[in-house]
């Protein structure tokens, strides 16, 4: 069970087996005048990818609202707590999968602050 918490609301849910933790390197590849390649590391960004199914539509709307407002959240994974933002390129929950008309599915991408 995983939980996302804002200053007002807490939502708990189960994630699919494909859930993962990833690390992204933000770097700049440059070439010197002499032709030598060099990488300038700017930052290391930790994150999570959480595929979610069968989440109540009311919770899906709250998560989409957090995404739209770039709300700072706390992520609870077992005994660990992370400060995160939703970093998905598009809304985490796009709509209702059939035949379920009250539960949503989608992918929540989180970046650790």
**Coil/strand/helix, residue 64:** helix
Q: Are 29 and 39 in contact (CB under 8 A)?
A: yes
Residue 82 belongs to domain spanning = 2-112
Residue 6 binned pLDDT confidence (cut-offs 50, 70, 90): very high
Q: What is the mean pLDDT of the chain?
A: 87
Question: What is the distance between the alpha carbons of residues 35 and 8, in angstroms, rounded to a whole number?
Answer: 54
Model confidence over 44-80: pLDDT tens digits?
Answer: 778 999 999 888 889 999 999 999 999 999 999 888 9
Region 18-42: mean pLDDT is 81
Separation between Cα atoms, residue 53 and residue 102, nearest integer Å: 12
pTM exceeds 0.85 for this model? no
Number of domains in the chain: 1
């Amino acid at each position: 069970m995983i939980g996302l918490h804002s200053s007002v609301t807490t939502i708990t849910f189960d994630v699919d087996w494909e859930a993962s933790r990833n690390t992204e390197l933000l770097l700049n590849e440059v070439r010197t005048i002499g032709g030598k390649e060099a990488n300038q590391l700017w930052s290391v960004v930790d994150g999570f990818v959480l595929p979610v199914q069968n989440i109540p539509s009311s919770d899906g709307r709250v998560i989409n609202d957090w995404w739209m407002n770039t709300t700072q959240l706390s992520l609870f994974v077992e005994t660990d707590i992370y400060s995160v933002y939703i970093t998905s390129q598009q809304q985490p929950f796009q709509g209702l999968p059939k035949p379920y008309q009250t539960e949503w599915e989608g992918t929540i991408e989180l970046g650790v602050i």
